[in-house]
Chain A
Amino acid sequence: ETGVTQSPTHLIKTRGQQVTLRCSSQSGHNTVSWYQQALGQGPQFIFQYYREEENGRGNFPPRFSGLQFPNYSSELNVNALELDDSALYLCASSLDRVGEKLFFGSGTQLSVL
């Protein structure tokens, strides 16, 4: 059974640039959620994708967008990067939208300079 994998593991960007983060969900999971974890904070919900459609969104601006593909892998795109976007971005997959148990990847550490 393959777990949740994320790429890249680390990324450095400058303010105003755009970034794409990738996630492969666990085998058999059709739902992917993205979380942002700032230093010293808990993970904060960005959005969830279910069967290729956005299916729930947290308090993040539209410059945070995503995609889910037919194989249930997912991308997180962030436009017009700001310094405060520096954080660990976590992808989590689950069997369904109910979210009783999420399986997390190791995350992508994004630094915006």
Chain B
Amino acid sequence: DQQVKQNSPSLSVQEGRISILNCDYTNSMFDYFLWYKKYPAEGPTFLISISSIKDKNEDGRFTVFLNKSAKHLSLHIVPSQPGDSAVYFCAARAYSGAGSYQLTFGKGTKLSVIP
């Protein structure tokens, strides 16, 4: 049972245009959402996050939108650059007991930005 779903395995976008990556979740107990970016042969790196009490968070070219009623979040990259080409993982945090939290990741979306 996949609690975090990224339904698009891949996405191609022209340089300078907007990239929109989508993520859906099923667990209402998730209280924090994060996006990670992963280049080949490297570990995932944190990109941007949003608390469940907010509906938007912006950091430079990156904006994350959260629609709690639809259990949906999206990552917008404007303008897209060739260096943004990577696999993007959506992750959601839930309390797992004993004072700890764990992240549940989606399968990832491979973004290709075409020069």
Question: Size range of the interface on A?
Answer: 20 to 34
Chain B interface secondary structure, helix, strand, loop or mixed? strand
A42-62: which have CB < 8 Å to B?
42-45, 48, 50, 55-58
Indicate if the CB atoms of B105 and A104 lie closer than 8 Å.
no
Contact of B104 among A4, A45, A55, A90 (CB under 8 A): A45
What bracket does the count of chain B residues touching chain A fall in?
Answer: 20 to 34
> Are A101 and B34 interface neighbours, CB within 8 A?
yes
The answer to whether A56 touches B49, judged by C-beta atoms less than 8 angstroms apart, is no
Asked if A13 is at the interface (CB within 8 A of a chain B CB), the reply is: no
A106 touches B101 (CB 8 A): no
Contact with B along A94-107 (1 / 0, CB 8 A): 00011111111111
Residues of B near any A CB (own CB < 8 A): 4, 6, 32, 34, 36, 41-46, 49, 89, 91, 93, 96-108
By a beta-carbon cutoff of 8 Å, the part of chain A in contact with chain B is 4, 33, 35, 40-45, 48, 50, 55-58, 90, 92, 97-107
